[in-house]
Structures are given as structure tokens and as C-alpha cells.
Amino acid sequence: MEEKKKIRVLQIVPNMRSAGIENFIMNIYRNIDLDKVQFDFLVHNEEKKDFDDEIEKMGGKIYRFSYKDDKNIFKYIHDLDTFFKEHKEYEIVHGQMQSMMPLYLYKAKKNGVPVRIAHAHNSHYEKSMKGIVLHIFSRFSGKYATDLWACSNTAGAYLFGKREFNIIHNAIDMDKFQYREDVRNRIREKEGLTDKMVVGHIGRFELQKNHEFLIDIFYEIQKLIPNAVLLCFGCGDRRPLIEEKVKKLNIEDKVFFKGVVSNTEEYYQAMDCFLLPSKYEGLPLVGVEAQISGLPCFFSSTITRELELSKNAHFIDLDVSPLDWAKFIVENYKVVRTSNYFELYDLKKESERVAKQYAKLLERKKS
């Protein structure tokens, strides 16, 4: 198919770092038919991020705004107007950045973009003044959208209320995350974990992920199981605060901050259990990945039960003490590891469905 006949979709994101929403987009991007659909990206940082090089190698364009660097809302509004006036080639705008969604979808509508998708990825908001303001603002997201998508029923209901929305599952490459004993043994030996009880966590260091509570839980776990260690993957502004907390608890030799790695699927194999005590989520990709690899998972009960995909998924209230979390984990983390397959989250099938949805929406607007 000729380039001019491709559907070019403008993905609007904070930036393309390695995190949940961004990994979801890249999973779809890598598996969608690039002869039919091409993704371009409008990002909100001038700085390059983890996936930028890969995006450009796949033919995607990246347009850099400075809003997350300078917080200049008036410049941002001007930049949006200028962009949509100059780029009339985009007939589909896919809004993946919830906080500024009403603003950029309004500008897209004003400049004649026929298909404007609002995609809900979260089910709650940060309890701070900034969080409250963004929460109120984001509730107008659906006003300027032509189509409403969500990663889960919980996320969709949170952002769109009683309006009808389309569920797009946070799909995974099932083969990549299957449990493999040889990989487990290799990683554990490489990392010096052969005789350890390995607790794992993957999440950016932001308030939403509740790392302070995660460390409190692990502190109790390592008192019950002295050879326990915690592997933390991810980056973010709050990492130094969490490192300081670990230092104050004198467990620096048991908590390892691994940063962002390209082979998380191998580290899942090395883990013995997975913890995600988030304050809120839409439907976390890491929770699906961990369950594919057969890990016993311990989630906060604020996370949607749509994530309960296996018998080893456990949900615990955040008002339960760290010690009681630890006791429950210690009692339930020993399982026979087997791989899982979840048809709803099959990446190849979901990528095909997304491509068909884009084509259908565009055809509808042209008819």
C-alpha cells in the first residue's frame, strides 16, 4: 500500500519513556500492520526518551512540545493551535495523556480533526491540590472527543461516567513472558539470587505507585524471611526519597534499584512474587505480564478486579498494616510456577482489532 494511503495516527502522550501507557502503545505499534497504519507522536518534553530512536526507525515522527519542561500553559495553547493549523494530514488524534486531554482535543476539534479519541488509563487521581485540579479538568475529556476508549471498565467509568466507551485491552506478547526455568536459573545466578526469596516490583517512582508503603511491606517481609530481597524497576522523581527511606531502615543490602531495563520478561522469571500496592491504576500492564509468567501477585484492592486473571492474583486493602500484608504474602507466595495465556490480552489479536477500529472510525467520519 502506498504511503499516502496509510492511516497516520497522532498519538498524544506525556513522553515516550519506558512506563505502562508508553509500553502499551509500543506493543501495539510493533505489531500493527505498518503498511496500513503509521503512528506519529506529540510529546511534552524536549528531552529524548527511551523509545524515541525505535519510533523513528519504524517511520514515526516525533513532535516535541515543551510544556512539561516550562509549565507555560499559554505557550502550550499557542503551540497546539499552530501545530494543528500546520498539520492537516492528521485525521485521527489518539489522546493518551489524560491530564491535558480536554485542551488538546478541543484544539484538534477547532482545527477540523474528524476523529478524536479520548483514552482512559487511570481510575483515580493523586490526592493533592495539583491532582484535584487535574482531576476536575480531565472530567471534560469526553466533551471534545468523538470516541471514548478505556483500558478497563473501572478506568472508563472514572473518566467518562455513564457514557458508552470501547475497551482496548493492555495487550501483551504472550510468548515473550512465558515462564522458563532455564531463564530463571540464569538470571538468579547472574544476580546472586540463587538462595534468595525474590520480591519484585515494576513501576515509575511517583505517588501513584505507593513506594513508601511497598518498602514498609518489604521491611516486614525481610524480618519474617531473612534471605528476602526486593528488586525495584523503574525511574522517576521520587526515587531518591525512596532510596533514603531504604537507607534509614538499614536494608540497603536487600533492596536493589534496577532502573529501566529492556529485559523485564527475564526478571519476572527470577522473581518469587510480585507486589503492586498502588494507590490507583487503570489496568496495569505489569500485572498482566507477571501473571502470564505464573507469578503469585499481590495487588492493592484499589486496582480493578479485572486484573484477576489467575488463581494467584491476590488483592489486599491499603488500610491493612504492612505487617499483615507481609504475613499474607509469606503464607501465599510459594506456588508451582506455570505459564498462563489470556486470550483477551493477546497482542497480535488486539493490534489487529485496533487497526480495524482506526479504519472503521475514519470511514464513518468520511461517510
Asked if 93 contacts 107 with a C-beta cutoff of 8 angstroms, the reply is no
Half-sphere exposure of 83 (CA within 13 A, CB side): 23
User: What gap in Å lies between CA 206 and CA 234, rounded to an integer?
Assistant: 10
Cα separation, 314 vs 5, in Å, equals 47
Q: What is the pLDDT of residue 60?
A: 95
**Closest residue by Cα to residue 138 from 121, 163, 152, 151:** 121
Distance CA 292, CA 338 (A): 9
| pLDDT value at residue 125 | 61
Single-letter residue type at 186: R
What stretches of the chain show up as alpha helix (H) in DSSP?
Answer: 20-31, 52-57, 67-70, 73-86, 101-110, 129-138, 153-160, 181-190, 211-224, 239-248, 264-270, 285-292, 322-332, 347-366
Distance CA 132, CA 295 (A): 35
142-155 tens-digit pLDDT:
789 999 999 999 88
Q: Which of 240, 238, 248, 198 lies closest to 218, judged by CA?
A: 198
Residue corresponding to grid cell 529492556: 262
The candidate with the shortest Cα–Cα distance to 19, out of 298, 285, 304, 215, is 285
List of long-range contacts for 182-188, beta carbons under 8 Å, 24+ apart: 183/266, 183/269, 183/270, 184/269, 184/270, 184/337, 186/266, 187/266, 187/267, 187/269, 187/270, 188/270
Q: Are the beta carbons of 283 and 308 closer than 8 angstroms?
A: no
* Nearest Cα to Cα of residue 298 among 311, 282, 280, 315: 315
DSSP bridge partners of 181: none
- Which among 119, 162, 112 has a CA at the least distance from the CA of 138? 119
Closest CA to 140 of 105, 103, 100, 102: 102
Contact indicator for 355, 36 with CB cutoff of 8 Å: yes
The per-residue pLDDT for 364 is: 82
Sheet holding 115-120, edge to edge: 62-64, 37-43, 7-12, 92-95, 115-120, 147-150, 166-167
| CB-based contacts of 288, cutoff 8 Å, min separation 6 | 170, 172, 307, 309, 342, 345
Residue stretches of the chain with pLDDT short of 70: 1-4, 125-138, 366-367
Please, is 363 exposed, middle or buried when counting C-beta atoms within 10 Å of its C-beta (0-12, 13-18, 19+)? exposed
Supply the pLDDT for residue 2. 44
pLDDT score for 264: 95
Say if CB 364 and CB 15 are below 8 A apart: no
What tens digit of pLDDT does each residue of 77-88 get?
999 999 999 999
- Phi–psi pair at 168, nearest 5 degrees: -115, 115
